[in-house]
């Protein structure tokens, strides 16, 4: 069970009722044979131990998409998903980005696949070749 107290280093925990948005890079997207697109499991892995996300209720689509010119899309997962997998989700506001949060801990390959399959498009990427 995830500790309901304060998050890492005193950062407040994100409620499991929140939606988390993640910016999508071109290498996070695969095109299926039928022309549809899907996320690969690398979407929820990083060279850093923690994964950056946005708390949807604290931002807008335009604000998120404006954070990184390389992003081609935006996906959403419920905060309850990583919390249910025993990861902490903590607020980590940055200058100009009060919605920034972290999924804390190195995400396993299996958990990354679960998150990628559960993600829903907020902003679909343009046609991927």
Model pLDDT for residues 4-17, shown as the tens digit of each residue: 444 466 788 999 99
Q: Is residue 128 part of a domain?
A: no
Is it the case that residue 67 has pLDDT exceeding 70? yes
50 inside domain: yes
| Residues 74-95 pLDDT 10s | 999 999 999 999 999 999 999 9
Query: Is residue 69 assigned to a domain?
Result: yes
Positive or negative: CA dihedral 107, 113, 116, 117 = negative
In total, how many domains does the chain have? 1
Range of the domain at 37: 9-123
Identify whether 1 is part of a domain.
Answer: no
Residue range 14-46, pLDDT digits in tens: 999 999 999 999 999 988 888 888 898 889 988
Q: What is the pTM of this model?
A: 0.88
Q: How many Å apart are CA 128 and CA 15, to the nearest integer?
A: 34
- Counting Cβ atoms within 10 Å, is residue 20 exposed (0-12), middle (13-18) or buried (19+)? buried
Is residue 129 in some structural domain? Answer: no
């Amino acid at each position: 069970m995830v500790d309901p107290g304060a998050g890492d280093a005193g950062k407040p925990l994100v409620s499991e009722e929140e939606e988390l948005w993640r910016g999508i890079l071109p290498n996070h997207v695969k095109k299926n044979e039928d022309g549809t697109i899907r996320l690969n499991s690398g979407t929820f892995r990083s060279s850093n131990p923690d994964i950056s996300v946005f708390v949807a209720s604290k931002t807008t689509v335009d604000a998120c998409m404006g954070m990184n010119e390389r992003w081609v899309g935006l996906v959403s997962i419920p905060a309850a998903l990583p919390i249910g997998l025993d990861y902490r989700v903590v607020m980590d506001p940055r200058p100009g980005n009060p919605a920034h949060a972290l999924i804390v801990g190195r995400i396993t390959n299996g958990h990354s696949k679960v998150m990628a399959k559960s993600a829903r498009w907020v902003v679909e990427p343009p046609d991927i070749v």
